[in-house]
Every structure is written in C-alpha cells, then in structure tokens.
Structure 1
C-alpha cells in the first residue's frame, strides 16, 4: 500500500493521475531544495511531472536542472507516496504519484531555468519542518 498525504479525497471528484519524480539532494548535512514562487511560495524537493513518453530518471535530471540549475549524480530510489491536490497551473485535481530518490548535486551550471524557482541550501535537520508537503518532509525525516 502506498502512503497518502495531502487534501482529503472526495469520492465524487475526478482526480487525474500525475506521476512525478522528486529528489533529496544532499551535500554533507545540507539539502538543495527549491522555492516555487506563487500566491503562496512553497519550499519543495526538486522534481516534477514525468511527461508522456519520458522515462523517470531522465525526467528527474531534467526537472533538477530546470528548478535548481544543478546536475546530480546517479539517483537512488527511496520509495513512493501519493498526494491528492489541486494544481492551479493545470486547472485540475490530481492524484500525484511521487517517486522519491536520493542523490548528490555535482555541478552548478547556472541559475534555475524556470523563473518561478529559486535554489536554496537548507540544513537537513531543519528541512522536514520547512518543506511544504508532508510526503517530502516524511522522506527527509526518515534519513535523519
């Protein structure tokens, strides 16, 4: 059974499945996270949706570059969780299937490619309380 986080599921609501890959990028005792600007800025693990026809690991490398400007080492899969959320940028309710990986950042090529993201370093032991979703926080806390 996959652990579930996020909004309460409404049985009358249609949720669109949205697979994604996210990574805990660790350097020493710090994590490289991303702040997504918006109405309510959110601190998140780098990552995002997997496009149709895209494989999970290349998607994760693409998302890390877009959201942080960094390359990373080979990711190691830690597990998966689900989140049921409204995604305003797509105007849809989604069942996000979030596969979580661990890796190390290896090379900063520049600023994030996505203008709405800012890469930030956060002490690993502080990250669970700062992350914007419970699933991300639970996976980081499991490494402490």
Structure 2
C-alpha cells in the first residue's frame, strides 16, 4: 500500500492514474527545486510523468533536465506516495503515483527547457516547509532528518 498525502478522492469523480518520477537533489544542506509559475506558482521536487514505454529512471533524468537544466547521476529510489489532484495543464483529475529518488546533481547545462519553470537552490529545512504538496514536504523532511543525524 502506497501512503496517500493530501485530499481524499472525491466520491464519484473519475481519476486517471499518472505515474511520475521525482528527485531529491542535495548539495550540502541545500536541495535543488523547481518553481512552476503557470498556471499557479508552485514549489516542487523536480520530476514528472513517465511517458509510455519510458523507464522511471529515464523519465527522472529527462524531467529533471527539463525543469531545472541540470544533469543528474546515481539515482536511487527511496520511496513513493500518491495524491489525488486536479492538473490544470492537462485539464485532468489524476491519481498521481509519485516515485521518489535521491540523486546527485552533476552539472547545470542551461536554463530549464520546460516553459514557466525556474530552478532554485533552497536550504532543506526551508524546503521541508515550503514545498507545494505534503508528499514532497514529507520526503524533504526525511532527507533533513537524515543529514542532521550525521
């Protein structure tokens, strides 16, 4: 059973299952995040949907690059969660299955290629409070607890 964060599904509403891969990208005590400005401002772990025939790790590399402009290395899956949400960019009610990885940000190639996205570095303690959904905040807080326990 995958832990659910956020709102419960609305009775009678149809949800389309969307599986995506998302990354915690630490450098020192900071995390590399993406800020999506349209349709509404939202601070997120970089990542997104897995295309048909694409592996989760290939999707992770592609999505992180599109949303941050960074290349990553050594992704390792650390967990998963699900949430029910409306995705205005697709006009879709979705059951999002979020596969969470930890990876190493290697090199910035350029700005994000995804429109209305900006990459930013943020202290992990701030990210654990400010990320736009409870599942992302949970994994940022777990990361923070891991690095402060060292």
TM-score scaled by length of structure 1 = 0.97
Partner of 1:18: 18
What does 1:62-81 align with in structure 2 at a 5 Å threshold? 62-81=62-81
Distance 2:142 2:124 in 1: 11
Give 1:43-82 correspondences, 5 Å limit: 43-82=43-82
- The reply on whether 1:8 has 2:13 as its aligned counterpart is no
Aligned residue number for residue 143 of structure 2: 143
Write the deviation string for residues 89-112 of structure 1: whole angstroms up to 9, x where unpaired: 111100000000001100110000
- C-alpha displacement at 1:11, in angstroms? 2.3
TM-score by structure 2 length?
A: 0.93
User: Is it true that 1:90 corresponds to 2:90 in the alignment?
Assistant: yes
Q: What corresponds to 1:104 in structure 2?
A: 104
Gaps of 5+ in 2: 145-150
C-alpha RMSD of matched pairs (Å):
0.8
Following the alignment from structure 1 to structure 2, what is the Cα–Cα distance between the partners of residues 54 and 6?
27
Match of 1:114 in 2: 114
Distance 1:64 1:15 in 2: 25
Mapped to 1, the partners of 2:139 and 2:88 lie a distance apart of 25
Instruction: Note the C-alpha offset of 1:8.
Output: 2.3
Distance in 2 (CA, whole Å) between partners of 1:17 and 1:49 is 10
Q: Where does the alignment leave 5 or more consecutive residues of structure 1 unmatched?
A: none
1:125 aligns with 2:111: no
Moved over 6 A (4+): none
| C-alpha displacement of 1:125 | 1.3
Name the CA distance, whole Å, in 2 between partners of 1:11 and 1:2. 20
Shift in Å, 1:6? 2.1
Higher helix share: 2
